[in-house]
Amino acid sequence: METISLARGIPAPECIPVEELADCARAAIERDGTTVLSYGPVGGYQPLREWIAERHGVEPARVLVTNGSLQGIAFLADRFAGRRVLVEAPTYDRPLKLLAARGVDITVVAMDDQGLDPDALEAALAAGPQPAFLYTIPTFQNPSGRTLSTERRRRLVELAREHDLLVLEDDPYGLVGFEGEPPPTLFELDGGEHVIYSSSFSKTIAPGLRVGYFVLPQALDDELEAMAVSTYITPVLIGQATVFEFLRRGNLEPNLERVRDLLSARRDAMLEALERELPSAAWSRPQGGYFIWLELPREAVDVPGVSFVKGTDFGGAPNTARLAFSYVSPDEIREGIRRLAAAVAEPVGV
Ligand SMILES: Cc1ncc(COP(=O)(O)O)c(C=O)c1O
């Protein structure tokens, strides 16, 4: 029996626009080869930096384009090593590991179906030394699929102002919404004073390009650029120039529409299968992104024939799990949930 992966938070192969990217990579090298195949500015390929800056209404100098957005999170973790950092629980496991490895004192802040709880944030702010920053994924969160309500976004931005709190808004999934208008970003609500915005082309074009970015306050941008120079000299300009060519051709919106259709069919298949097979459990109902958060009536255990990530990896309770609907087909999702339900219906330890 082949294992069905509901663990991998990666796009299904058909989400990746392979042909178009092959063409964009060739065009990027032909047009600007001596630039993109050489060492260059550490802040990123200038035309892409300008495109991102315009999209977010800032000067290009405040944009740092990194080799995937996780790289930028690693730089921030280095910059604030040993300090106190607030994170919502559950949260994406890789930043948790990056922060822990740098001796950061991590304070968890509770969330519910509407995202991070502002009262819990206020209590956490009062309960210890001034944190270096709050790390949050407000839209289609990894791992829970939840989205912070607009009202709470306003409250969070107010709290950031009142407490002079720096917020890292990690938003790789915001453009991958299946229905309705996405809520305003924290960055938009705040005007970019207390909020660092980070996003990525991993979910909107292709993760293998390794193109992520940060919109930073100027002083922090300078500091992180210095770290980037001493880490990799120049980011992967060929990946960035390929992304820029893809954007320049107007391919982003049509690609997003295609990807949203592929992913929302998978989300629907998973929700329907859960409804049918696991009535004793509870789960989130994401309106975008890659993940559903499952709460079982018992502890999550390894299940033969289907893989998923236990919620404890993300700081969740032992009865929780992250199910990714992004990677396998709708049929495989239905079969995977059937296998999961058959196993968790057994008593613990069997
Ligand atoms: C919330 C979140 N942030 C950052 C990343 C990393 O993205 P990138 O491929 O840009 O490094 C991911 C990838 O899954 C993610 O889920």
Q: Torsions phi, psi of 214, nearest 5? A: -130, 140
- What's residue 181's pLDDT? 87
Ligand 1 atom nearest the C-alpha of 9 is: 14
One DSSP character per residue, 9-44 reads: -S--GGGS-HHHHHHHHHHHHHHHHHHHTS---TT-
Rounded CA-CA distance 323/325 in Å is: 6
Distance of CA 20 to the CA centre of its chain: 24
Q: Residue 192 above 90 pLDDT?
A: no
For residue range 154-189, list pLDDT tens digits in order: 999 999 999 999 999 999 999 999 998 889 999 999
Q: Residue 346 above 60 pLDDT?
A: no
For residue range 262-272, list pLDDT tens digits in order: 999 999 999 99
Ligand 1 atom nearest the C-alpha of 92 is: 1
Distance from the alpha carbon of residue 71 to the mean position of ligand 1, in angstroms: 9
Distance from the alpha carbon of residue 210 to the mean position of ligand 1, in angstroms: 10
Rounded CA-CA distance 258/84 in Å is: 41
- What's residue 344's pLDDT? 86
pLDDT class of 340 with cuts at 50, 70, 90: very high
Place of tokens 């559950």: 90
Q: Residue 281 above 50 pLDDT?
A: yes
Distance from the alpha carbon of residue 203 to the mean position of ligand 1, in angstroms: 8
Distance from the alpha carbon of residue 169 to the mean position of ligand 1, in angstroms: 12
The residue whose CB lies within 8 Å of the most ligand 1 atoms, and thus the one to mutate among 10, 69, 168, is 69
The residue whose CB lies within 8 Å of the most ligand 1 atoms, and thus the one to mutate among 10, 67, 202, 263, is 202
Count other Cβ atoms within 10 Å, centred on residue 70.
19
Rounded CA-CA distance 290/30 in Å is: 35
Helix or strand run (H / E) with residue 322: strand 320-324
In sequence order, what are the beta bridge partners of 324? 291
- Three-state DSSP class for residue 197: strand
Instruction: Write down the pTM of the prediction.
Output: 0.97
The residue whose CB lies within 8 Å of the most ligand 1 atoms, and thus the one to mutate among 142, 196, 213, is 142
Give the mean model confidence (pLDDT) for residues 48-65.
98
Evaluate whether 246 touches 205 at the Cβ level (below 8 Å): yes
Distance from the alpha carbon of residue 170 to the mean position of ligand 1, in angstroms: 8
The residue whose CB lies within 8 Å of the most ligand 1 atoms, and thus the one to mutate among 10, 168, 169, 170, is 170
Averaged pLDDT of the chain: 96
pLDDT class of 348 with cuts at 50, 70, 90: low
- What's residue 1's pLDDT? 85
Distance from the alpha carbon of residue 289 to the mean position of ligand 1, in angstroms: 11
Evaluate whether 136 touches 170 at the Cβ level (below 8 Å): yes
Determine whether the shortest distance from the Cβ of 92 to ligand 1 is under 6 A.
yes
For residue range 10-25, list pLDDT tens digits in order: 999 999 999 999 999 9
Tokens, residue 17 = 């626009």
For residue range 312-327, list pLDDT tens digits in order: 999 999 999 999 999 9
- Three-state DSSP class for residue 220: helix
Distance from the alpha carbon of residue 171 to the mean position of ligand 1, in angstroms: 8
For residue range 79-93, list pLDDT tens digits in order: 999 999 999 999 999
Determine whether the shortest distance from the Cβ of 207 to ligand 1 is under 6 A.
yes
57: exposed, middle or buried (Cβ count in 10 Å: 0-12, 13-18, 19+): exposed
Q: Residue 105 above 80 pLDDT?
A: yes
Interaxial angle between packed helices 252-277 and 330-344, expressed in degrees from 0 to 180 and rounded to the nearest 10? 30
Rounded CA-CA distance 62/49 in Å is: 9
Rounded CA-CA distance 329/15 in Å is: 11
78: exposed, middle or buried (Cβ count in 10 Å: 0-12, 13-18, 19+): middle
Beta-carbon contacts of residue 259 (< 8 Å; ≥ 6 apart): 11, 15, 176, 203, 204
**Sheet containing 320-324, strands listed edge to edge, beginning at the edge strand earlier in sequence:** 282-283, 291-295, 320-324, 309-310
| Preceding peptide of 13 cis, ω within 30° | no
Give the mean model confidence (pLDDT) for residues 276-290.
97
For residue range 230-256, list pLDDT tens digits in order: 999 999 999 999 999 999 999 999 999
Q: Torsions phi, psi of 135, nearest 5? A: -100, 120
- Give the closest residue (by CA) to ligand 1 atom 1: 142
Determine whether the shortest distance from the Cβ of 69 to ligand 1 is under 6 A.
yes
Determine whether the shortest distance from the Cβ of 139 to ligand 1 is under 6 A.
no
